Chain A
């Protein structure tokens, strides 16, 4: 008996090995993250609202060029559309999608596709809707690898997606599809039904506290049933309850959904799915819930630059920044101590307004009588019962006047005459894509998303009699890279001698340093006095995902 059993098992195993693997689900490649909701921009799609449209309206916009591989084109790919049309053809593709061809009364066609749930990443907010649409379709039709005719009115809900034109059957001229489809209603307008929504559509809850959203239903076409509510996808340590637990017949009403997070609840963002079931119909909506750690109210304090030189009789600045954490919500007052004689410090603004994140420009003004020397200035910040301090090294120089010695410091000569800068093609920029720090022009290095290097160089002589020489510039970095650990694209700032030999690498920035707006950088070049040097910016980009390094208002202030 056991021997027979073993043989049967062996036979089964052999049989499974010889079944063609093409029978098992295989998933697509091209824009697959966008098609299934695991792309970088999926958070821009609001699944709790939808917009009625037509095939003609969706076919109207020109196809974007280029079509981004892992990002969305707004509003077409960030909107949940509702479309009434006739389903004419359907087919199961090898990438496991159901390929549906829709047609309007004028014969215009477009494609909508329902992916297989097995090809959708677990973190996709589209997964419940895709599963729902797939089940709805399977209940009505059996898709095979050959086109079949349906000719049935449908109402399709789905998210827009521009596909690459490739001779697809029924494709719109601009390649737009609804991909994925999240809901299918056959013969719409005749069947009793209800709609489900939540407000707010997403929420945050802190460990040890709770938050609520109102779940609402509305009925149509004579729907008359109670609607039961349930939720799935809750993270560990979070509970949820509905009040009331169901909407009474005929099915229109609302319920308060309360999320309660324990003090040890798992932190992060989770897509919870609310299901509403009544009259044999189930609808779902996704509510992203972010669980925040309960942290003590606090803030951080920083200065940039942390050291600067000011000639007696002039002034210099450092930017003081604060960033709050936890539930900190208070104004932060600023002060400076340790100032040498003849030097004053002024903050603008004098305090950071509540909730306490922001920046203030600290201006040191040195009287003409101020003595030469270096002092450590302590910056104090306090608010909400919390105090922090940081330091700025201030050097006062005397006995001379300060002159800015770089030519065309703000690149305002334009792209046709960048001298005395030597730049690579396309760097000098006045487009609104990368606006300047001041004036009309800036130096925009890289930003192509392909292997590329841009340089910006100027040769200058620092007088031997200099008592201070400070290089400053304003830098803006934006990037499509998503890594928080790897510097794929870099900008180096170097000092070279007149032969091109690197004397010093002042700084290296990368995609990891991306920022909103500009920040000023400052470097002491006094050690190069008496030399003819080259100031060189080199932006290097790898083969994919752009990073733009934008430099403006480059000054070399020399005191002598």
Chain B
């Protein structure tokens, strides 16, 4: 029986290692810098982990949002902790800092930032699984069907703040390792939904700055052909 247990250990250990190695080695990336493939083959703009250096954006012919309104969704059981929850207030309006270069860029392109809509807290326990982009899309679909979040207007941007302990993935990339945030869109019965996903970051300032950047990039590049 010891041999049986050892065999299982070796077998499962190698399978895990092989699969993990496959995953690590097999992540395709689009040619454009700071883009990734999402979980059903589309391209997604990410905020890299080190976003302190950013070159000027160029225009690729696509549309931008005329206005942008943040609707915050705090997702994951970790937000239920009183200390963590205390951070929510600082994230409810990611464009509040007028001096932020991203906010200035929105103004430069005449994109109005509307007063944020009320937040939603969803303390579902997501710590046992990785939250990829399909999970996010399904969650948005469920929240819309249950009318827990409002039907989006043209400028609505759902900003999903993942709780500590919730691991974000995107087409094989790892949140917090390969990106600090990303934005994407999905078409559901309620129409085209723009959203931002922000993995938790221990540093509150970095956390907020990543969200601001992804929110601004949603407005400037909502469908992948705008300013980036």
Contact = CB atoms under 8 A, between A and B. Distances in A.
Q: How large is the interface on A (under 10, 10 to 19, 20 to 34, 35 or more residues)?
A: 35 or more
Interface in A33-58: none
Contact of A146 (B26, B132, B151): B26
Nearest to B171: A94
Nearest to B7: A8
Contacts, number: 119
A21 B191 CA distance: 30
A26 interface: yes
Given A21-B129, A168-B42, A30 B224 contact: no
Contacts of A147: 28
Contacts of B190: 543-544
Contact of A12 (B8, B40, B134, B223): B8
A397 B178 CA distance: 84
A134 interface: no
A28 interface: yes
B27 interface: yes
Given A69-B189, A543-B190, A545-B189, A23 B19 contact: yes
Interface in B16-45: 16, 19-20, 22-23, 25-28, 30, 35, 37-43
Contacts of A67: 187
A187 interface: no
Contact of B186 (A8, A30, A544, A545): A30
A416 interface: no
Given A69-B189, A94-B38, A144-B26, 18 more contacts: A4-B5, A12-B8, A19-B16, A20-B19, A21-B130, A22-B130, A26-B134, A28-B134, A93-B39, A93-B40, A94-B40, A94-B172, A145-B22, A145-B23, A145-B28, A146-B26, A166-B42, A169-B41
25 contacts: A8-B8, A12-B12, A20-B19, A20-B130, A21-B130, A27-B134, A29-B186, A66-B191, A91-B28, A91-B41, A93-B41, A94-B134, A95-B40, A144-B22, A145-B27, A146-B25, A147-B28, A166-B38, A166-B223, A167-B30, A167-B35, A167-B224, A168-B41, A169-B37, A544-B189
Interface of B: 1-2, 4-5, 8-9, 12, 16, 19-20, 22-23, 25-28, 30, 35, 37-43, 128-130, 132-135, 137-138, 141, 147, 151, 169, 171-172, 185-191, 223-224
Interface of A: 1, 4-5, 7-8, 11-12, 15, 19-23, 26-31, 66-67, 69-70, 91, 93-95, 97, 99, 111, 144-147, 164-169, 450-451, 543-545
